[in-house]
Structure 1
Amino acid sequence: MADADFIPKAALAVPARDSAHARLRLIRTPSIGPVTYRQLLARFGSAEAALDAIPLLARRGGGRPPILADPREIAREIARVAELGAGYLFLDDPDYPPLLAQLENAPAALIARGDLRLTRRPCVAIVGARNASAAACRFARELGVHLGEGGATVVSGLARGVDTAAHVGSLGTGTVGVIACGIDVVFPPENAVLQEQVAARGLLLAEQPPGTEPRARHFPFRNRIIAGLSSGTVVVEAAPRSGSLITARLAGEAGREVMAVPGSPLDPRAQGCNLLIREGATLVQNADDILQQIGPIDPRMVRAPASDYAAAPPLDASDAIRRDVERLLGPVAVPVDELIRQSGHAPASVSMVLLELELAGRLERHAGGRVSLIG
């Protein structure tokens, strides 16, 4: 599909009002996640202004300011990405994957090598067991071939087993590999050639900075990207408590199609798929079933994200609002919508209090738009 180092120029661009360096300092600061990043840029209009405001916000939240990412480390990262022939995709870039941008916790930045146009086609995630049976791997490979022939891009995680088979089947027609490590790190090691092929003929994406080795905590983040890129997720063999089922759950939470291939009740590797079907996932037996399920792509889905992070009007919360919101918070995670309802304050003011608490290290964000106090 593309030369090894092909990255559309837009993927490397950053809006003139902002710098990649400043954005990455926010993104690489441990206490600033995707939701907080969005809120900071929406509130202050630029990464530079947000960086300047963080100490004051943290003090208002009753804690110490977070230690921002070292500028020298950021400069080294940017140089390394360029050296690898890769580029950055920031959340409001026109080439940022449009379906992924719809997630509340979409990655603030991705590192990409390959053909970004593949994410503008209907995308289908194929995931499954690492210790998959030979039959499951063959089926996943055939799905990859036929989905590509049907005009879809196949998305997977470059893991052993089903992921590997899906990528091999779709190399000739369009495949996207999402990895849980740096874009210059190969995992598993035996997929070194395949990972390079995916970057050369398809698209390789990483959220972690170069040089990052895969850790268990990185894989759920990787899985949300796989699910978020795709109109539907297909599970081909999976144990009941597997990462593949996490991907399927994330796809369902994002409002995407969840599909599963049935298997023998005597095979433990099929139990996860059979469980998904029992809980309402669509049973699929071939690529046509999948293509019919996701349907033709809606042109509205391929538009660039609408937000340009224009500065919002000042919405600083009063001490009374801070007291009301903190009183409603505790160690049990609650939806932000519930905090707004019970406090009776404007959503923007409540969001500002939560932002201050998070930057002060006193708030934790959870899946599903829930928050809790730390300690």
Structure 2
Amino acid sequence: MSEILALLNLKFTSQMGNIRIRRLTEHFGSATEALKAKLSDLRGIEGLDARVLQHFGSSEAANRAALEIERARKVGVRLLGLTDPDYPRALRALSDPPAVLWVKGELPVLEVVPRAVGLVGTRKCSAWALQFTRTLSRDLTQAGVRVVSGLARGIDTAAHQACIDAGGVTVGVLGSGVDNVYPSENRRLVPHMVLVSEHPLGTRPMSHNFPERNRIIAALSAGSVVIEGEVTSGSMITAHAALECGRTVFAVPGRAGDPLAAGPHKLLREGAVLTESAEDILLELGWKSAPRLNVELPEEQARIYTALDAPRTLDDVVVLTGLNAGTAQVNLMMLALSGMVMELSGGRYARV
């Protein structure tokens, strides 16, 4: 059995959500090994009670998994499993990363902290917000930043369209199957962008899927910008998800007393980065300056500097360079003293 088939088997098993699948793959090393496990071994996994285990290894789940692989092959959709080396590392920041991703288009390499920004806001937005979004998306794209959003009407559509018009890469995260784009008028954008979903092909755009997809937008972005939205809007869910996975939250100020400005203003009071232009985002994330290519550095510092192609924590640097934590910390300090690197909020480091 292939690993992606095993992961789909688990996903289609009743009562088996993302958290339980993650626990299984971490415990047994893979989904394939988890499905081979004895019932006595499975009982020791947190959250796997008798109610869950009665469905484990069902033929119905196995048949559905095989059918989904064949359907994806026919429509040119790539399936990325949680244990796949190409699975976006950025999503591992989530407590419940999708067990399987359905991807239509060429998904760019998404780093631990990707050079991407989420642009989110209300569907029923003002004309001013639409124009602001277009300008912001264009300027970010021209700075080499990917734009991530949810392909909904309003702010999302404006963000995707402006990125496409500027020749950039934009990622749409759906609350439906990637073959069931909603709203239908946005199907014209599909050939020019990347679509990502955690839902099987044919899934309809149901309301409870949209809050879930917002956490993926947040994780696939180094920061999320809330442009307009009420305090209870879906864009606020994205902002809170961004904070939970260690990302930066940006908010665009609006008019006092305007209900559509209530969400961003609440975020600003809570410490979000005030955003009036792409410059504010680029500076906060450490993407403003071009890398210094002609500076000779000691080997360990050079490795760290190369790894800082986006803001990184000390743990990120350790993983990317193979250095131990002590050595990485000392060399980060040396780079900071030399003016090559600066420390950002949240224990992150970036090139100057």
Taking structure 1 as the reference length, the TM-score comes to 0.71
> Which moved further from structure 2: 117-126 or 58-67?
58-67
The count of residues paired between Structure 1 and Structure 2 equals: 285
1:80-99 Cα shifts (integer Å, max 9, x gaps): 11111111112232322222
Name the CA distance, whole Å, in 2 between partners of 1:125 and 1:249.
13
For structure 1, which runs of at least 5 residues remain unmatched after alignment?
Answer: 1-16, 307-375
Q: Which residue identity is paired with 2:132?
A: F
Residues 18, 75 of structure 1: alpha-carbon distance in 2 compared, 3 angstrom cutoff: closer
Q: Tell me the residue number matched to 1:136.
A: 129
Q: Tell me the residue number matched to 2:222.
A: 231
| SS in structure 1 at match of 2:262 | helix
Name the CA distance, whole Å, in 2 between partners of 1:54 and 1:276.
49
Q: Tell me the residue number matched to 1:256.
A: 247
Q: Tell me the residue number matched to 2:72.
A: 81
Residues 301, 72 of structure 1: alpha-carbon distance in 2 compared, 3 angstrom cutoff: farther
Q: Does 1:116 align with 2:111?
A: no
Q: Does 1:189 align with 2:184?
A: yes
For structure 2, which runs of at least 5 residues remain unmatched after alignment?
Answer: 288-309, 323-352
Q: How does 1:48-197 map to 2 (within 5 A)?
A: 48-53=32-37, 55-56=39-40, 63-64=50-51, 65-67=53-55, 68=58, 69-117=60-108, 119-120=110-111, 122-171=115-164, 172-194=167-189, 196=190
Deviation at 1:57, TM superposition (A): 5.6
Q: 8 Å contact 1:98–1:303 — kept in the other structure?
A: no
Name the CA distance, whole Å, in 1 between partners of 2:204 and 2:275.
35
Q: Percent identity?
A: 43
| SS in structure 1 at match of 2:37 | helix
Q: Which residue identity is paired with 1:189?
A: S
Residues 45, 266 of structure 1: alpha-carbon distance in 2 compared, 3 angstrom cutoff: closer
1:37-86 Cα shifts (integer Å, max 9, x gaps): 12212222332331243744676766242424522211111111111111
Name the CA distance, whole Å, in 2 between partners of 1:210 and 1:240.
32
1:180-239 Cα shifts (integer Å, max 9, x gaps): 101110211221212x2xxx3331101100001121221122011000111100000001
Residues 281, 62 of structure 1: alpha-carbon distance in 2 compared, 3 angstrom cutoff: closer
| SS in structure 1 at match of 2:108 | helix
Residues 124, 290 of structure 1: alpha-carbon distance in 2 compared, 3 angstrom cutoff: same
| SS in structure 2 at match of 1:234 | strand
Q: Which residue identity is paired with 1:26?
A: L
Q: Tell me the residue number matched to 2:236.
A: 245
Name the CA distance, whole Å, in 1 between partners of 2:311 and 2:274.
23
Q: 8 Å contact 1:129–1:162 — kept in the other structure?
A: yes
| SS in structure 2 at match of 1:119 | coil
Q: Tell me the residue number matched to 1:318.
A: none
Q: 8 Å contact 2:12–2:64 — kept in the other structure?
A: no
Deviation beyond 6 Å, 4+ runs, structure 1: 58-61, 301-304
Name the CA distance, whole Å, in 1 between partners of 2:207 and 2:8.
23
Q: Which residue identity is paired with 2:118?
A: A
Q: 8 Å contact 1:18–1:46 — kept in the other structure?
A: no
Q: How does 1:29-48 map to 2 (within 5 A)?
A: 29-48=13-32
Taking structure 2 as the reference length, the TM-score comes to 0.75
Q: 8 Å contact 2:4–2:80 — kept in the other structure?
A: no
Between the two structures, name the one with larger relative contact order (CA 8 Å, sep ≥ 6): 1
Name the CA distance, whole Å, in 1 between partners of 2:131 and 2:212.
27
Deviation at 1:265, TM superposition (A): 1.7
Residues 142, 31 of structure 1: alpha-carbon distance in 2 compared, 3 angstrom cutoff: same
Q: Does 1:23 align with 2:7?
A: yes
Q: How does 1:321-340 map to 2 (within 5 A)?
A: none
Q: Which residue identity is paired with 2:110?
A: T
Residues 182, 289 of structure 1: alpha-carbon distance in 2 compared, 3 angstrom cutoff: same
Q: 8 Å contact 1:260–1:277 — kept in the other structure?
A: yes
Q: How does 1:230-309 map to 2 (within 5 A)?
A: 230-296=221-287, 297-298=310-311, 300=316
| SS in structure 2 at match of 1:262 | coil
Deviation at 1:143, TM superposition (A): 0.9
Q: 8 Å contact 1:237–1:273 — kept in the other structure?
A: yes
